[in-house]
Structure 1
Amino acid sequence: MHTAQPRIFVAGHRGLVGSAIVRALHAQGLTNIVTRSRAELELTDQAQVRAFFQSEHIDQIYLAAARVGGIHANNTYPAEFIYDNTMVQANVVHEAWRNGVHKLLFLGSSCIYPRLAEQPIREEYLMNGILEPTNEPYAMAKIAGIKLCESYNRQYGTDYRCVMPTNLYGPGDNYHPQNSHVIPALIRRFHEAKIVGAGEVVIWGSGKAMREFLYVDDMAAASVYVMQLDPASYHANTDPMHSHLNVGTGSDTTIGELASLIGKTVGYDGQIVFDPSKPDGTPRKLLDVSKLTSLGWSARMPLDVGLQHAYRSFLDTNKLY
């Protein structure tokens, strides 16, 4: 006799992480997946979210819907970043509880940690220092999301879990010239430099800042893994005041090494020049992933192979051959 599959709502299924979570669920044979585009369901609208949960009878939620962007977008639209993210989280978590959804996974961001946190960054460093000013509104919203999940667990006995990914990249990324993150931005710049035969590509900063990068399908696999852990394992490795898990590779690379690797991946053979008069940002941001490793999951995709997949996806998306 077959057990009925759980009815799983993936909020943000068109985004970088949400689309990868849908792929990961399908790979496990889980097909009872509910999705809604923003045009079909505006998650900042409480009445719409309430009506959705009352009619759809959801069993599990992956909350990957968020307004996201790089430094430029965060600096330009701070009001949208704090309002949209706070409203989405509050509406989904509250209506999930109201409608008896016991299991939820909330996806945060490593920018929740203090700007000058000790490295590597452990889960308990949350709220131990000043945030990075450029993305503080976004970080505050994500911290509120973690605290929402913790509070509903404490008060109502729900099983709402939180994962904090490091910098993500891969198929489905945003390659916008101003609003993208470092890997998609560099892939686009090196590709365009190759097409026009530019002699050099100038990169902001010294190239010495260290960053950790996680392939998005690894992040999705970790999300499904954490959601499927039995409650005793998950809650034994977290505590009510720090009930989130870091997700990363446990290793980092300099921006200089990354640029060189992307240049090679794209096939650009000009010079790579660094402009140390421009800011490096935080010197280092590496997550401590020992809790997740102890629970039996670790990242698989090597950076060089992941970048090849990302470049192929960029070419397919932009039809640039």
Structure 2
Amino acid sequence: MEKLSEYFNNCKVLVTGGTGLIGRQVVDILVDCGAYVTVTSLDNLNLNPNAVYKKMDLTKIENCLDLTSDIDYVFHLAGIKGSIEVTKSMPASFFVPLLLMNTNILEASRLNNVKRLVYTSSIGAFPSAEVFREEDDNSAPPMDMFPGWAKRMAELQIKAYKIQYKKNNFYVTRPCNVYGPGDNFDPKNAMVIPSLMARISAGESPLSIWGDGSAVRDFAFSRDLAIGILQTLIHGTGNFDFLNLASGKGVTIKELVDTMSEVIGFEYEFDTSKSSGFPKRVMDISNAKKIIGYNHTTTLKEGILETWNWFQKNKKEYLERKNYFSDEG
């Protein structure tokens, strides 16, 4: 924190998606470091009294030009999260807004000569594999078809800037499955951990878990990833186009549910008639450790407890957030 404070003190910083899962953590840390923080989001939330919140649509280039004017650093974290079912049934609701907001905020940052920028891509931009490394072949199609391609396009845009405009201080990170306070707990489109918590809170018993529990995933706590993103802006990504940010540890779905049950207390059963999904998805974070000094310190049990306690006090917050999957579009 001392090193971060030295770097960000008195700097003017824009955080897109600053009311989201990772963004709110980035905002809080930056404020504590003495930065002047502007947050843009379509959520009806003003979370940190020492940050300036602007509700602006990033799919409009004029808004992005206004937001990035006279800004030192940009953390482009705005994105769209949703369950596998929503991703398959409403692909345009992912693909089109992501393409527009990414293209616009990156171009506006270039035109306004932002000094440094970090863009958060996703594990879904990787081709299918079990262990994901930056140095592996990245040319095959992404695992997450529509959102994965949208993320890839932003990565390619930054690569184009580096070639043509020498924007070597624009960086990319690829986070894994992130959870924590401020997650999306909407049962209609939430990811694994918040979806299970919402169903537990609603009284489902026994809780039905798809598959046999053998699938392995990499779950990272949002505050750890926020620190990694801040470190990336300072140190860059070395010779890689992006850096992995994750826990670096594989956890089976059974281990996840057992840990949640230990913390929360509930009955559950596995529905083996349903698919378990990809057998394994784990990130190698050795490059992030070497290049930026990244270290994921929160245990799964600690993260689950903090997330559950936050959710119990903020069960309706998701209703104040932009829903890209509503009937209104």
Q: Same fold, TM exceeding 0.5?
A: yes
User: Take 1:64 and 1:14, find their aligned partners in 2: how far apart are those partners?
Assistant: 10
Mapping for residues 99-110 of structure 1, pairs under 5 Å: 99-110=112-123
1:102 is displaced (CA, Å) by: 2.4
- What whole-Å deviation, never above 9, does each CA across 1:114-139 have from its counterpart, x for those lacking one? 12x2x32111335343433xx31100
Correspondence for 2:319: none
Ranges of 4+ aligned residues in structure 1 off by more than 6 Å? none
Match of 2:320 in 1: none
For this pair of structures, how many residues does the alignment match? 296
Q: Take 2:201 and 2:57, find their aligned partners in 1: how far apart are those partners? A: 36
Could you say which residue in structure 2 is the equivalent of 1:21? Answer: 26
**Residue pair 1:238, 1:245 contacting (<8 A) in 2 also:** no
Q: Which residue number in structure 1 is paired with residue 222 of structure 2? A: 216
Cα displacement string for residues 189-243 of structure 1 (whole angstroms, at most 9, x for unaligned residues): 22333xx7x3x221111110000100000010101111112xxxx35x324xxx1
State the alpha-carbon separation in 1 of the partners of residues 269 and 225 from structure 2.
32
**1:265 Cα deviation after fit:** 1.3
TM-score (norm 2): 0.85
Contact between 1:187 and 1:266, CA under 8 Å: does it hold in 2?
Answer: no
Verify: 1:203 aligned to 2:209, yes or no: yes
Residue 122 of structure 1 aligns with which residue?
A: 133
The TM-score with structure 1 as length reference comes to 0.87
* Residue matched to 1:131: 142
> Which residue in the other structure is 2:194 paired with?
184
Preserved contact between residue 265 and residue 308 of structure 1 (Cα < 8 Å): yes
Deviation at 1:299, TM superposition (A): 0.5
Of all paired residues, the percent bearing the same amino acid is 26
Query: In 2, Cα distance between the equivalents of 1:71 and 1:24?
Result: 31
User: Is the 2:216–2:280 Cα contact (8 Å) retained in structure 1?
Assistant: yes
Is the contact between residue 72 and residue 178 of structure 1 (CA under 8 Å) also seen in structure 2? no
Gaps of 5+ in 2: 1-7, 43-53, 317-329
User: How far, CA to CA, are the matches of 1:127 and 1:17 in structure 2?
Assistant: 25
* Higher normalized helix content (fraction of residues): 1
Q: Which runs of 5+ in 1 are unaligned?
A: none
Equivalent in the alignment of 1:11: 16
Structure 1 residue 36 corresponds to structure 2 residue 40: yes
Q: Is the 8 A contact 1:190 1:201 kept in 2?
A: yes
- In the TM superposition, 1:1-321 aligns within 5 A as 5-27=10-32, 29-38=33-42, 40-53=55-68, 56-115=69-128, 117=129, 119-125=130-136, 127-132=138-143, 135-158=144-167, 159-193=169-203, 198=205, 200-229=206-235, 234=236, 237-239=238-240, 243-268=241-266, 270=267, 272-295=268-291, 296-318=293-315
- Tell whether the 8 Å contact from 2:41 to 2:78 is kept in structure 1 after alignment: no
